[in-house]
Amino acid sequence: MLGIQEADHEESSPDAAFPLISKLSCSLSGQTGKVKIVAGSIAHSIYRVDEALEDFACNYGVNPLYQSHLNSDDLCVSGLDEDGAIRIVELKSQPFFVATLFLPQLRSSTEKPHPLILAYLQAVR
């Protein structure tokens, strides 16, 4: 999509020339954090708020050295943490393609489903 042939994941390729996904300097596993939702994005139309509290369970994320590569005509960054690190990306050309670094299911219940899970279910219906 971005034309980066060498893009790789540091977990499976520790010596990757282009580690687009790299080990976080500080693990987010078990952490809760604020995610700023970018106005005008699909994520913003789903959340209908500018900020959300989310639960993380990860040790890898988008390498900050390559963060600027992840905005194109179709792929866009639509959520950032308080330090400006990517937490949500989406494809505008797809009916529903929203990828997160957090786990929406951890904040979802039958009584109060997470907005991203509801949006996904509506998209596949």
Mean residue pLDDT of the chain comes to 88
pTM to 2 decimal places: 0.87
Residue 54 pairs with which residues in a beta bridge? 33
Provide the Cα torsion 53, 59, 64, 67; round to 10°. Answer: -70
| pLDDT exceeds 80 at position 13 | yes
Considering only residues 28 and 6, tell me which one the structure prediction assigns the higher pLDDT: 6
Locate the domains of the chain by residue range: 7-124
On the 0-12 / 13-18 / 19+ scale of CB atoms within 10 A, 10 is middle
Average pLDDT over residues 88-115: 91
Q: Which two tokens stand for residue 53?
A: 């509290």
H/E/C letters for each residue in the chain?
CCCCCCEEECCCCCCCCEEEEEECCCCCCCCEEEEEECCCCHHHHHHCCCEEEEEECCCEEECHHHHHHHCCCCEEEEEECCCCCEEEEEECCCCCCEEECECHHHHCCCCCCCHHHHHHHHHHC
CATH architecture of structural domain 7-124: 3-Layer(aba) Sandwich (3.40)
Q: Which two tokens stand for residue 16?
A: 């990757």
The reported pLDDT for the residue numbered 42 is: 93
Cβ distance 75 to 1 under 8 Å?
yes
The reported pLDDT for the residue numbered 117 is: 94
Each residue's pLDDT tens digit, 22-49 = 887 666 776 788 999 999 999 999 999 9
The reported pLDDT for the residue numbered 27 is: 62
The reported pLDDT for the residue numbered 57 is: 82
The reported pLDDT for the residue numbered 35 is: 96
The reported pLDDT for the residue numbered 99 is: 92
Considering only residues 105 and 27, tell me which one the structure prediction assigns the higher pLDDT: 105
